[in-house]
Amino acid sequence: MNWGSAAEFFAMGGYATYVWGSYAVSVLVIVGELLLHGRRRRTCLRRLGRRVRPEKNPS
């Protein structure tokens, strides 16, 4: 174990900006990619649903 306390862990030996900046942006990018794809998939499914069962989903 490298860290004496949670504060020490978050301070990253003075490099908090760099280390947490890297990890935060990476998480943001991955979450963003998942969200973008989710939106694309929902649009696609909605269009398909309309096409297959037009009587139930009047556009």
Q: Interface with another protein by CB under 8 A: which residues?
A: 1-3, 9, 12-15, 17-19, 21-23, 25-26, 29-30, 32-34, 36-37, 40-41, 44-49, 51-53
Q: CB of 42: closest distance to another protein in angstroms?
A: 9
- Which residues, in sequence order, are CB contacts of 3 under 8 Å at separation 6+? 9
Q: CB of 11: closest distance to another protein in angstroms?
A: 8
Residue reference for tokens 């694309």 = 40
Cβ distance to another protein smaller for residue 17 or 59: 17
- Which residues, in sequence order, are CB contacts of 5 under 8 Å at separation 6+? none
| Phi and psi, residue 24, nearest 5° | -65, -45
